[in-house]
A and B are shown apart, each in its own frame.
Chain A
Amino acid sequence: MTTRTNTRSDTVFTGSFEGDLRRYLRGLGGLLAFLLVWWVGAVTTQPTYLVPGPLESAYAFVDLFATSTAIVVPILGSSLVLPTGLAHLAQTLFHYVPGLLLGALCGISLGLAMGWNGALEDWLRPLVRVLRPIPPLAWVVFAIVWFGIHHTGAAFIVFVGAFWINFYGAYGGVEGVSSDLTDAASTLGVERDFSMLKLVALPSAAPQVLTGFRTSIGRCWMIVVGAELFGAPGVGYEIINASNNLAMATSVAYMFVISLAFLCMDVGFRFVERRMLAWR
């Protein structure tokens, strides 16, 4: 009986190694097929600017890092010279990062409070229902009239996007805390509501909170580009700026800058998440 189970798990192990290899090869195949379709599309489409080819885009990408641009650091007011691609990425991060972090902080705080406190939940639930469906980009009009469409305005829009995703992560996580765990904690001397939140609800909700945050990293990239299409400085603005000059390959290059930036953040955060949730 035991032997049979062992053999089976061994097969699964070797199988998964071969499976990994096969998966990588298939993934590579998919990428190559896409490049081929893209290339054929680019070669056969007229006029040529409609679909910039892969090679042309790669050149444009390299070009972004071969030239440099001066940008102004907000608040400090000093100027900074960086390779063009990085410079505009930095501009985006100047509003993306504060918007994301502040939105996550506020969203998580309110989500925890609302999931934990029944009275607060009663008060706010209808309000949340009404405000939640408004797409973050719809707030762009207020971003413009309140802050002007620059770093602050864009940060505000990112804030709204990050807020809701993190709010729901924390809210759902706290609502899902098992009563067995809170019972166990109260028999072990946890008396105050705040201690219960800190010692039981928060660690128990951590997986959902972190998943919410990771989702908001991606969603906020979409939002930030949207905000920049209205004129805030950054990679999104450069995409539309390049296309206004019919330099479509440069637009594609900036699209890849966004993709790479997101990938780095996602991989980095997944790593942190795995470390923090080793107990799962």
Chain B
Amino acid sequence: MSEQSSTEPEEAPSEKITVRNVSKAYESTQALYDISFSVSEGEFCCVVGPSGCGKTTLLRAIAGLDDPDSGSVLVGEEPVTAPGLDRGMVFQEYALFPWRTVRGNVRFGLDRPACECADCEARVRELVDLVGLEEFEDAYPKELSGGMKQRVGIARALAPDPEILLMDEPFGSVDARTRDRLHAELLDIWAQTEQTVVFVTHDIDEAVTLADRVVVMDADPGTVQSTISIDLERPRERTAHEFVDYVARIRDELGSPVDGRY
């Protein structure tokens, strides 16, 4: 069915995720209003915006966890109707299964519906190593710090080898030093796996540190304010002039909370 590209409107072939005129309202707020943007294959895209601008709603729409009221989300050329193993998700509050060990959590997605990898144990070990938790593979989530929990969250999302990694403020509740380390690790992993990443955050520094492109959102109604490409070599130095300039530019776009919108 996806071969009938002649009848489809011509999209740039490298677009991995296309969000088309998506709107979603909750009781009193317009969380998303007519949002359109796209993410290229292998791109690291950050979405920033004030709280309540619908960043999480947008991510959940891409994940297939929430249906938009109108508009559509495409992954490749397939419209999203439900969650799928092609899109891994990392949650803000980790959402680890507390009754499973680190290994059991990482393993979860490999067994759905049935284990298909040649050697699942080896795959799990490889992922646990990748996030640096070798010594904790038999620990339960309650025994881990916030940063370690989120490493498990990342390894668990990576296990089914998704093409897309969706991250919802994943480092929001870890301390600043751990966050820096996790940023570096995440960029390493991304370089190895060449996944398409959509990373939601309200931290502008974090967005400029990580992203190829930053989508700036505005609140109520949730719209895309602008899209800024970050043209800097990695690893990025937060004190560098260009870095500071990007941060200032995005802050301008967001508008300061005091004098209202930009």
Contact = CB atoms under 8 A, between A and B. Distances in A.
A200 B108 CA distance: 11
Given A203-B97, A206-B99, A279-B98, A188 B91 contact: no
A51 to B, nearest CB: 50
Given A180-B91, A188-B156, A280 B142 contact: yes
Interface string B87-111: 1110101011111110000001100
Given A203-B97, A279-B98, A187 B142 contact: no
A211 interface: no
Q: Is the interface of A mostly helix, strand, loop or mixed?
A: helix
B140 interface: yes
A183 B95 contact: yes
Contacts of B89: 183-184, 187
A204 B99 contact: yes
Contacts of B91: 180, 183-184
Nearest to A202: B99
Contacts of B113: 189, 191
Given A180-B93, A278-B140, A280-B142, A186 B98 contact: no
Given A180-B93, A183-B95, A184-B95, A279 B87 contact: no
Contact of A186 (B83, B100, B141, B156): B83
A183 B142 contact: no
B95 A279 contact: no
A18 to B, nearest CB: 27
B200 interface: no
Contact of B112 (A178, A181, A188, A279): A188
B248 interface: no
Contacts of A186: 65, 82-83
A180 B95 contact: yes
Interface string B134-166: 000000111000000000000011011000001
A269 B173 CA distance: 38
Classify chain A: how many residues form its interface, as a range.
20 to 34
B186 interface: no
Nearest to A278: B140
B17 interface: no
Given A186-B83, A187-B87, A189-B113, A280 B98 contact: yes
Interface in A103-145: none
A187 B141 CA distance: 19
Interface string A179-214: 011011111111100010001100110100000000
A258 B113 CA distance: 49
Contact of A279 (B64, B88, B99, B109): B99
A189 B85 contact: yes
B63 interface: yes
Interface string A150-194: 000000000000000000000000000010110111111111000
Contacts of B84: 189
Contacts of B88: 187-188
A199 B93 CA distance: 20
B108 A188 contact: yes
Contacts of A278: 140
30 contacts: A180-B91, A181-B95, A181-B97, A183-B65, A183-B83, A183-B89, A184-B91, A185-B108, A186-B82, A186-B83, A187-B64, A187-B83, A187-B89, A187-B166, A188-B108, A188-B112, A188-B156, A189-B109, A190-B112, A191-B112, A195-B112, A203-B99, A204-B97, A204-B98, A206-B99, A279-B100, A279-B140, A279-B141, A280-B98, A280-B142
Interface of B: 63-65, 82-85, 87-89, 91, 93, 95-101, 108-109, 112-113, 140-142, 156-157, 159-160, 166
Interface of A: 178, 180-181, 183-191, 195, 199-200, 203-204, 206, 278-280
Given A181-B95, A206-B99, 20 more contacts: A178-B95, A180-B95, A183-B65, A183-B83, A183-B89, A183-B91, A184-B97, A187-B64, A187-B83, A187-B89, A187-B157, A188-B112, A188-B160, A189-B112, A191-B112, A195-B112, A203-B97, A203-B99, A279-B141, A279-B142
